[in-house]
Amino acid sequence: MRQPATSARAATPSAPGSVGDVRKANLVRVLSVIAAAGEDQRLSRADIAQLSQLTKASVSSLVADLLAAGLVIEIGVHRDGERGRPSVGLILNPTRCVMGMEINVDYIAAGLVDLKGKLLAHGILPRTNHGSTASEVLTALGELSQTLQEAARSQGLMILGGGLAVPGLVQEDQFTVLQAPNLGWVEQNLDVASLLPEPKTRFRLFNEANASALAQQQLMDAQDRDFLFVSGEVGIGGGLIIDAELFIGPQGHAGELGHVVIEPDGKRCSCGGRGCLETIAGQEAILAAAGLGAGTDNASRQERISQLYQALQSGTDVAVNAVAEAGKSLGVAVASALRLYNVSTVVFGGHFAALEQWLRPAMEASLHEHAPSIADQARLLRSPLGQTGALVGAARSVVGDLLEAPYQLVD
Amino acid sequence: MRQPATSARAATPSAPGSVGDVRKANLVRVLSVIAAAGEDQRLSRADIAQLSQLTKASVSSLVADLLAAGLVIEIGVHRDGERGRPSVGLILNPTRCVMGMEINVDYIAAGLVDLKGKLLAHGILPRTNHGSTASEVLTALGELSQTLQEAARSQGLMILGGGLAVPGLVQEDQFTVLQAPNLGWVEQNLDVASLLPEPKTRFRLFNEANASALAQQQLMDAQDRDFLFVSGEVGIGGGLIIDAELFIGPQGHAGELGHVVIEPDGKRCSCGGRGCLETIAGQEAILAAAGLGAGTDNASRQERISQLYQALQSGTDVAVNAVAEAGKSLGVAVASALRLYNVSTVVFGGHFAALEQWLRPAMEASLHEHAPSIADQARLLRSPLGQTGALVGAARSVVGDLLEAPYQLVD
DNA sequence: GCCATTTAGTTTATGTCCTGAACTATATTG
DNA sequence: CAATATAGTTCAGGACATAAACTAAATGGC
C-alpha cells in the first residue's frame, strides 16, 4: 500500500505514456492559469495562450472541454477604449464548490468553499466532542452538513467534493482516525459517506494542523512557498508546506512538533514520552504552570483560559512566566525544526496566535540563543486564521485536487 | 504537483505541453525499466513492452533512440529450450560512467561509477584538508581525477558527468560551499571545471551526508523508500530519503541533525547555538568526555580516536560512559527527527557505525524513553558504507539525473 | 460614413507519436 | 519439413499540438 507520501495527491497518471496524457497535462495547465488570475481578472483565451505558452488554437480547444466540464464559465466583456475584437472573459465557475468540515475538541464546523478558495457560507456549532464516539459526532456533523447543502441548493451551488479535518493522526486512504487523544479517539473508522450529497467526486481526511497550514498558505504571498504552521490547540500540531505543497511524510504524520523533545529529563507526556514540547507549551501545561491546572475552582477549560488571559492582562507574574517558559521551549523546538526542515518561516496559530505578545519575546530570545546562525533570517508570524481555518484548508486542498485532475470531470 | 525543490532533480520539462513530451517521458519509462532489471537480466524489447505498458512498436522505436544515444547496448541471446525467435538482450551501456568525488577533512577520494551504480575503480588519498584553500584542495583532487580519467581511457570508458561531495552546506546551482566549518571554509566558490574531461553532461555538488544517504539507498531493499541517514563524521550530518528521493528542503540544507537542540541549557556549539547534538555526540565532544580532548598528549585526532577505541575495548568507564552519553542524546535527537519527518528507519554511518556496540543500548533506551509510541516500529541500522560511500552516492545521483533525462543525449 | 487597423478567436494543413493489427524473422518440436 | 511459438518490424489510423491563414468584431482617422 504505497502512499503518495510527500503530498498525498492523485499523482500524475503514471500509466501508459500516450498522446492523451498531453491533453490531460494541458487541461491542468490552462486551468491553473485561470485559477491563478486575480479576483477581478477575466482572462481571455488569448491571455491564457500567452501565459500558458500554448497556442491560441490549443487553448480554444482545451477551454471548450473545461466549459463542458462546468469548471469554467464565459463572461462577455467589452473592453472600452481599446481597438480590436473584444475578448470573452473566462473565470472559474462560481457555482461549483467543495464542503469543508472540522471536528475539534470544543466544536464542529462546516462550510462551502468555491473553486477560488473563498468561503461562501459556514456554520460553527459548539459541542463537547471529547468522549463522544465518532459516529455520534459524525451524526451531528451530518446535520450541520445538511443545513449547508440546503443553502447550496437555494443558491444554485453544486458541491463537488469534501474535506474533513480532525485534531489527530489520520490514515487518509481508509478514512480512519488513528489517534486523537484530545477527542479520546483511538482507531476510529469514520463513515463519511453520509456527509456529502451525490455526486461527490472526492472526499479527503486531514489532520487539523495540516489543513490549517493549507488555509494559511492562501494568506501568504505567492513567493512564500515554504513555511511551518504551528497550531496551538489543546495539543500542539504542525503542518509543513514545502515548495507550495503540503509535506506529510511517508505515513502522513510529519510535522508533529508537539512531541519534539525539549527537556530529555522533563515531565512525562501524554504520548508516553518525556520532555515533549506539549508538556511545557501545551494548553494544559501552560494553565498548570500558571496555577490554573485542571480542577482549579472546578472550572472548565474555557473558563480557566479566560482566567489566564485576565491574569496576563493584569500582569500577574505566575501567568506571565508560564507563558514565557512556553515561549522559550517553543523557541527551542522551532530551532530544531528549522534545522531539520530548512525552512525559515514559522506561522503560529490557535492559542499561540492569541498569546503572541506574551510568547514572542521569550521565543525570539530562545531561538537566537539556540540557533543564532539562522535566527536572523527566520520569520515568526502570527496567523489570523480563526475557527474556520481548518475547514477552509481541507476544502481548498480538495479544490486543488479537482483543479489538478480536471479530465476526471471532462466527458 | 511540482517537485523540484524537494528532490533537486531536473524536473520534468514544464515548458509547453507538446506531443514531443510524451516521447521524452516514454524514453525515461523504457530506460527505467532497463535500469531496474537485475544484474544478469537481459530484457528483450518484448519484455520491456510488457513491463512498461507500451506497445512493442513504441518500445522498438524508443530503444532505437537509446541505442543511438549510447545509453543502452544490445547483447545477442539465444534462449535455449524455448520455442520462437530468440530475443535480443538489452542492458545499460557498461562503458558509460560518472565520476564521483569527495573532499573530506582527512582525505580526498574519487571513483568511477557505471550506469548501474557500481563502483568500477577508485582512489583515496589521505590529505589534511582543514586549513587548505578550496583551490589547493581542488588542484589535488584534479590530479586524482586525472589518474582515473586515464584508467577510464584505457578501459574504453566514457565519463558522462560528475558529482562532488563535501562536508558542509552547499549551494548547488553556483558550485559554492557556504559553510564547511570542519574544513575551515566559508563561502568558497569551487572551480570544478577542471575536474572532468569534456564532454561532461552534468556536474553536481552535494553535502556529504546527503551523498552518503544516496549511496545507502542503493544498499536498502527496494521497499525501504524512506529513511534518515545519520553521518557521524567530525560533525554530525543527516540525509533524508523520502519516497525514494533525497529530500533537501527549500534551500537544500534539510536534515542537519547535528544542530538539533538536545539540552536547552547545554554547552555552546560551534554553530553559535547551545546544547546542539554535536556538543554531546560530535567526535570532539565524545573524545573530550572520554578524557581525550584536543591537545591531550599532543596527539592528532586520528591518534586520539585510536586511543578511544582502545579504551572502549578494555572497558574503561570514562570512555564507555562518554559514548553512552552520546547514545542517549542521539536517541533524543532521533526521537524528535522521527516525529518531524515521520520516517521509521534510521541508518547510522561514519563513526556512529563504528561505535555501534557501545552506542546502541543507550540510544535505544533513550528512544523508548522519549518516544515510546514510535520506538517499537523504529529500525536503527548500522551502515556498511566505507570511505567511498559519499562519492558513490554523488555519482549515483548524477547517473539518476542522466537516466531521467535521456532525451538530452538523444540526437 | 467608410476604410484601415487592431485584437480575438477559429479553421486548416502538417508533423509527431502512440496504437493495434498485420506481417516478417527465427527459433523449437514432432 | 510442417506446425507452432515468440521476437521484432511495418503500416494504417487516430489524437493532439502547431503554425499560418482566415474570420469576427471592435476602434480611430479622415
Nearest CA in chain B to A249: B342
- Which A positions 312-341 lie with beta carbon below 8 A of chain B? 328-329, 332, 335-337, 339-341
B179 against B356, higher pLDDT: B356
Kindly report, residue by residue over B24-78, the tens digit of the pLDDT.
Answer: 999 999 999 999 998 888 899 999 999 999 999 999 999 999 999 999 999 977 6
> What is the average per-residue pLDDT within B284-307?
90
Q: What pLDDT band is residue B411 in, cutting at 50, 70 and 90? A: low
Which residue is associated with the grid cell 492562501?
A218
Q: Output the pLDDT for position A38.
A: 84
Please name the nucleotide lying closest to A20, CA to C1': D15
Q: How far is CA A305 from CA A300, B128, B345, in A?
A: 9, 60, 40
Does B261 sit within 8 Å of A249, measured CB to CB?
Answer: no
Please name the nucleotide lying closest to B29, CA to C1': C18
Q: Write the DSSP string, A346-375.
A: EEEEEHHHHTHHHHHHHHHHHHHHH-HHHH
Which residue is associated with the grid cell 545499460?
B92
The set of cell numbers assigned to B306 is: 585510536
Minimum-distance residue to C7 (CA–C1'): A84
d(CA A398, CA B171): 35
Distance B66 CA to D21 C1' (A): 39
Q: Output the pLDDT for position B230.
A: 98
Judged against a pLDDT cut of 60, whether residue A3 lies above it is answered with no
Please name the nucleotide lying closest to A23, CA to C1': D16
The set of cell numbers assigned to B278 is: 554535536
Q: What pLDDT band is residue B142 in, cutting at 50, 70 and 90? A: very high
- Which B positions 187-246 lie with beta carbon below 8 A of chain A? 225-226, 238, 242-243
Judged against a pLDDT cut of 80, whether residue B20 lies above it is answered with yes
The set of cell numbers assigned to A44 is: 481571455
Does A256 sit within 8 Å of B339, measured CB to CB?
Answer: yes
> Which amino acid is located at B142 in the chain?
G
The answer to whether A50 contacts chain B (CB < 8 Å) is: no
What's the first-to-final CA gap in chain B, in angstroms? 29
Distance A58 CA to C11 C1' (A): 12
The answer to whether the Cα torsion of A32, A33, A37, A42 is positive or negative is negative
Going along chain A from its start, the domains and CATH numbers come out as 20-92 (1.10.10.10), 96-214+389-408 (3.30.420.40), 221-382 (3.30.420.40)
Q: How far is CA B21 from CA A74, A300, B16, B67, B272, in A?
A: 30, 61, 9, 19, 49
> What is the average per-residue pLDDT within B145-161?
96
Q: What pLDDT band is residue A5 in, cutting at 50, 70 and 90? A: very low
Q: Considering only A71-75, B81-85, B146-150, which range has the smallest mean pLDDT?
A: B81-85
Cβ of A379 < 7 Å from strand C? no
Angle between helices A208-219 and A389-404 (to 10 degrees): 80
> What is the average per-residue pLDDT within B195-211?
92
The set of cell numbers assigned to A261 is: 523533545
Q: What is the pLDDT of chain A when averaged over all its residues?
A: 91
Judged against a pLDDT cut of 70, whether residue B6 lies above it is answered with no
Nearest by CB: B259 against A16, A339, A341 = A339
The set of cell numbers assigned to B240 is: 533524508
B113 against A78, higher pLDDT: B113
Cis peptide bond N-terminal to B199, omega within 30? yes
Q: Output the pLDDT for position A351.
A: 93
Cβ atoms B250, A340 nearer than 8 A:
no
Size of interface A-B (CB pairs under 8 A): 188
> Which of A29, A271, A274, A340 is most worth mutating to test chain B (most B CB atoms within 10 A of its CB)?
A340
Cβ atoms B301, B107 nearer than 8 A:
no
Listed residue (A98, A394, A376) closest to A239, CA to CA = A394
Strand C positions with any atom < 7 Å from protein CB?
A: 5-12, 15-22, 25-29
d(CA A119, CA A101): 12
Q: Output the pLDDT for position B13.
A: 36
The set of cell numbers assigned to B101 is: 568525488
Residue B118 parent element (H or E): none
The answer to whether the Cα torsion of A364, A367, A368, A369 is positive or negative is positive
The answer to whether B349 contacts chain A (CB < 8 Å) is: no
Q: Output the pLDDT for position B261.
A: 98
Q: Output the pLDDT for position B265.
A: 96
d(CA B286, CA B320): 10
Q: Output the pLDDT for position A355.
A: 97
Alpha helices by DSSP H, listed for A263-388, are 278-281, 283-289, 301-313, 317-341, 351-354, 356-370, 372-375
Q: What pLDDT band is residue A159 in, cutting at 50, 70 and 90? A: very high
Distance A79 CA to D27 C1' (A): 11
Kindly report, residue by residue over A345-373, the tens digit of the pLDDT.
Answer: 999 999 999 999 999 999 999 999 999 99
Judged against a pLDDT cut of 90, whether residue B127 lies above it is answered with yes
Nearest by CB: B254 against A29, A245, A342 = A342
Cβ of A54 < 7 Å from strand D? yes
Highest mean pLDDT among A301-305, A321-325, B181-185: A321-325
Cβ of B78 < 7 Å from strand D? no
CA angle B229, A241, B227 (to 5 degrees): 15
> Which of A220, A339, A401, A402 is most worth mutating to test chain B (most B CB atoms within 10 A of its CB)?
A339
Judged against a pLDDT cut of 70, whether residue A12 lies above it is answered with no
Judged against a pLDDT cut of 80, whether residue B347 lies above it is answered with yes
Q: Considering only A77-81, B24-28, B104-108, which range has the smallest mean pLDDT?
A: A77-81
Cβ of A73 < 7 Å from strand C? no
d(CA A269, CA A51): 52
Residues of chain A with C-beta less than 8 angstroms from the C-beta of B369: 273-274
Strand D positions with any atom < 7 Å from protein CB?
A: 4-11, 14-21, 24-28
Rounded to the nearest angstrom, the minimum Cα separation between A193 and chain B is: 27
Secondary structure of chain B: what % helix, strand, coil (to 5)? 45, 25, 35
Rounded to the nearest angstrom, the minimum Cα separation between A126 and chain B is: 31
Q: What pLDDT band is residue A8 in, cutting at 50, 70 and 90? A: very low
Judged against a pLDDT cut of 90, whether residue B170 lies above it is answered with yes
Judged against a pLDDT cut of 90, whether residue A16 lies above it is answered with no
Residues of chain B with C-beta less than 8 angstroms from the C-beta of A4: 243
In the DSSP assignment, the letter for residue A86 is: P
Rounded to the nearest angstrom, the minimum Cα separation between A289 and chain B is: 19
Kindly report, residue by residue over B394-407, the tens digit of the pLDDT.
Answer: 999 999 999 999 98
Nearest by CB: A54 against B16, B238, B263 = B16
Judged against a pLDDT cut of 90, whether residue A144 lies above it is answered with yes
Q: Output the pLDDT for position A81.
A: 67
Percentage of residues in chain B with pLDDT exceeding 70? 95
Q: Output the pLDDT for position B296.
A: 80
Beta strands in B287-364 (DSSP E): 345-350
Does B242 sit within 8 Å of A249, measured CB to CB?
Answer: yes
A396 against B13, higher pLDDT: A396
> What is the average per-residue pLDDT within B104-110?
94
Q: Output the pLDDT for position B80.
A: 64
Residues of chain A with C-beta less than 8 angstroms from the C-beta of B27: none
Q: What pLDDT band is residue B409 in, cutting at 50, 70 and 90? A: confident
B311 contact partners, CB below 8 Å, separation of at least 6? B290, B292, B318, B319, B320
The answer to whether B25 contacts chain A (CB < 8 Å) is: yes
Q: What is the pLDDT of chain B when averaged over all its residues?
A: 91
Q: Dihedral of the CA atoms A197, A198, A199, A201 (nearest 10)?
A: 60
Beta strands in B137-255 (DSSP E): 158-166, 169-171, 176-180, 185-189, 202-207, 227-232, 236-242, 245-247
Residues of chain A with C-beta less than 8 angstroms from the C-beta of B1: 7, 9, 11-12, 245, 404
Nearest CA in chain A to B271: A373
Instruction: Count CB-CB contacts under 10 A for residue A105.
Output: 19
Kindly report, residue by residue over A314-351, the tens digit of the pLDDT.
Answer: 999 999 999 999 999 999 999 999 999 999 999 999 99
Does A25 sit within 8 Å of B22, measured CB to CB?
Answer: no
Beta bridge partners of B206: B165
Q: How far is CA A94 from CA A115, A157, A308, in A?
A: 7, 8, 44
> Which amino acid is located at A114 in the chain?
D
Q: What pLDDT band is residue B295 in, cutting at 50, 70 and 90? A: confident
Nearest CA in chain A to B4: A243
Does A242 sit within 8 Å of B335, measured CB to CB?
Answer: no
Instruction: Count CB-CB contacts under 10 A for residue B390.
Output: 36
Does B337 sit within 8 Å of A250, measured CB to CB?
Answer: no
The set of cell numbers assigned to A202 is: 472526492
Residues of chain A with C-beta less than 8 angstroms from the C-beta of B249: 226, 242, 341-343
Cis peptide bond N-terminal to A199, omega within 30? yes
Residues of chain B with C-beta less than 8 angstroms from the C-beta of A11: 1
Does B369 sit within 8 Å of A274, measured CB to CB?
Answer: yes
Percentage of residues in chain B with pLDDT exceeding 90? 78
> What is the average per-residue pLDDT within A218-241?
94
Cβ atoms B228, B187 nearer than 8 A:
no
Cβ of B65 < 7 Å from strand D? no
Cβ of A79 < 7 Å from strand D? no
Nearest by CB: B259 against A263, A271, A371 = A371
Kindly report, residue by residue over A81-127, the tens digit of the pLDDT.
Answer: 678 888 999 999 999 999 999 999 989 999 999 999 999 999 999 99
Q: Output the pLDDT for position B8.
A: 31
Nearest by CB: B373 against A238, A271, A404 = A271
Does B226 sit within 8 Å of A261, measured CB to CB?
Answer: no
Distance A80 CA to C2 C1' (A): 22
Cβ atoms A232, A383 nearer than 8 A:
no
Chain center to CA of A288: 29
